[in-house]
Structure 1
Amino acid sequence: MAGSLGVAIVTGASRGIGAATARLAARAGYAVVVNYSADDGGASQVVRSITAAGGLAQAVKADVSSPDDVRALFDAAQAMGRVRAVVNNAAITGDMIGPLVDVPPDVVRRVLDVNVAGMLFMCQEAQRRMSTATGGSGGGIVNISSTAVKAGSPGTWVHYAASKGAVDVLTVGFAAEAAAHGIRVNAVSPGATNTGLHAAAGAPDRVARQAHLVPLGRGGEPEEVAAAVMWLLSDEASYVTGAILPVAGGR
């Protein structure tokens, strides 16, 4: 059932950057595991769009902040073939915008659980399954960071920006460890991108309001971020690991 390039797991793939990446991965030749935590309809739609175009995909519900769910996610992927690519896209803001002092403790904990611990669990399991030292095929991991790390998102998402700062550190450190296992680890750092993340936080026009701050004069599209992810997973990036690639219109 595996695609010609093996299996790709894309977390948080029921919408936005994850959905766009899942579609591009299928087009490139991967069998795709469309991971999601709650949006059954969105994940099913992504799978339908892939299979309608002749690709292979299945939706797998799993909370990446749960190590048990992560193991089950990889089990489902391996039932399709050898895992060769993992895109760690699942992330939340806590569905709120405001200064750090107003962020409730439960939101802080949940954001760190999903955005940081979840990515760590995914990377750990990816090495266990993909390592050439233990019979795996190697491959690539791409973590989705954010240019929010640069300024810290004061007044809006300091808690989210802090979680993405951890993603950058994870990417650099884990890349050095995973190289000996035949695994390249990189990150893409999107700027303001037209996804449902902003609407979920109560600011559907946030990207449009920030467009004047971007040298290219507009927000990004999920497909543009997904294209960068796919380049990092491709053989064209075979000598690239530990990189954090901004896709932010120059901002």
Structure 2
Amino acid sequence: MNKVILITGGTRGIGAATAKLAAQQGYRICINYQSDEAAAQHTLQALRALGAEAIAVRADVSIEDEVVRLFRQVDEELGPLTALVNNAGTVGHKSRVDEMSEFRLLSIMKSNVVGPILCAKHAVLRMSTRHGGQGGSIVNVSSRAAVLGSPFEYVDYAASKGAIDTFTQGLAKEVAGEGIRVNGVRPGLIHTDFHALSGDPQRVSKMESGVPMGRGGQAEEVAEGIVWLLSDKASYATGTFIDLSGGR
């Protein structure tokens, strides 16, 4: 069976690392992005250099009309979807809760909670045996922040990832009998440019001394966990999480 994967936020950091590993394992790949065309084209060229059939599709996955268009393009250009990685997300600048605006909270929740749920919905409509599908696998990219709470940094982001953890468990049970496995990974301090969104590009370097392993992680280390959960090697795993945080 052809392996077709959609990775939201797939052009940089953990998403791009996951796409490259998936390319090495024979997936047909769609990398989704919201705005950075240059990064999308750079990652797309790297995937094709690895021999993968790959496309890049611009879409805001927190808007259902755009999700519908994204999934239809995958159907038409790559074939039936077998794997989804919900990786797209955002974070606000370091802030206390009593300094956060309603606009910020709504933006975080729409990107980090509504978006992944919408993408999972449309993946289930394609994968589920209830809808005539052949099964598949979903991995949601959460965060250790969901467990630690991120006080004095971004409790709203942590809360959004806590919601994703609950969603992962609920959806896993809902579709376990329909050929779909749903799992999550919780990255910790990972060296990517995601931290620039919080206003501190050097955040990992500043905090890695507090990690029991004494270092920040690499995107490729998270990708290994994601791709393993997607694979048949994890055939009895659903509703579970891999913490990739160096012990933090």
What's the TM-score once normalised by structure 2's chain length?
0.97
Q: Within 2, Cα distance between the matches of 1:134 and 1:99? A: 44
Equivalent position to 1:9, from 2, 6, 9: 6
Give the aligned CA root-mean-square deviation in angstroms. 1.0
Q: Within 1, Cα distance between the matches of 2:34 and 2:190? A: 21
Q: Within 2, Cα distance between the matches of 1:116 and 1:206? A: 24
Structure 1 position 82 matched with structure 2 position 106: no
Structure 1 position 42 matched with structure 2 position 59: no
What is the deviation of 1:134? 2.0
Equivalent position to 1:92, from 90, 94, 98: 90
Q: Within 2, Cα distance between the matches of 1:170 and 1:5? A: 28
What is the deviation of 1:217? 0.6
Tell me the secondary structure at the aligned position of residue 83 of structure 1.
coil
Which runs of 4 or more aligned residues in structure 1 lie more than 6 Å from their structure 2 counterparts after TM superposition?
none
**Structure 1 unpaired stretches of 5+:** none
What is the deviation of 1:104? 2.1
Q: Within 1, Cα distance between the matches of 2:6 and 2:170? A: 21
What is the deviation of 1:91? 0.5
What is the deviation of 1:103? 2.0
Aligned to 1:108: 105
Aligned to 1:150: 147
Aligned to 1:162: 159
What's the TM-score once normalised by structure 1's chain length?
0.96
Aligned to 1:182: 179
Q: Which amino acid is 1:186 matched to?
A: N
Q: Which amino acid is 2:154 matched to?
A: W
1:49-60 → structure 2 map (5 Å cutoff) = 49-60=46-57
**Structure 2 unpaired stretches of 5+:** none
Structure 1 position 32 matched with structure 2 position 46: no
Q: Within 1, Cα distance between the matches of 2:150 and 2:131? A: 41
Q: Within 2, Cα distance between the matches of 1:7 and 1:169? A: 26
Q: Within 1, Cα distance between the matches of 2:197 and 2:154? A: 13
What is the deviation of 1:132? 1.7
Structure 1 position 67 matched with structure 2 position 64: yes
Q: Within 1, Cα distance between the matches of 2:51 and 2:11? A: 19
Contact 2:3 2:28 in 1 (8 A): yes
Contact 1:100 1:159 in 2 (8 A): yes
Cα distance per residue 1:3-34 (max 9 Å; x no partner): x6421000001211011111111111111101
What is the deviation of 1:102? 1.6
Number of aligned residues: 247
Tell me the secondary structure at the aligned position of residue 137 of structure 1.
coil
Identical amino acids, percent of aligned pairs: 46
Q: Within 1, Cα distance between the matches of 2:38 and 2:235? A: 36
Tell me the secondary structure at the aligned position of residue 200 of structure 2.
coil
Q: Which amino acid is 2:143 matched to?
A: S
Cα distance per residue 1:35-59 (max 9 Å; x no partner): 0001111111111001012111100
Q: Which amino acid is 1:213 matched to?
A: G
Aligned to 2:192: 195
Contact 2:90 2:197 in 1 (8 A): no
Q: Which amino acid is 1:152 matched to?
A: G
Tell me the secondary structure at the aligned position of residue 14 of structure 2.
helix
Contact 1:127 1:181 in 2 (8 A): no
What is the deviation of 1:106? 1.1
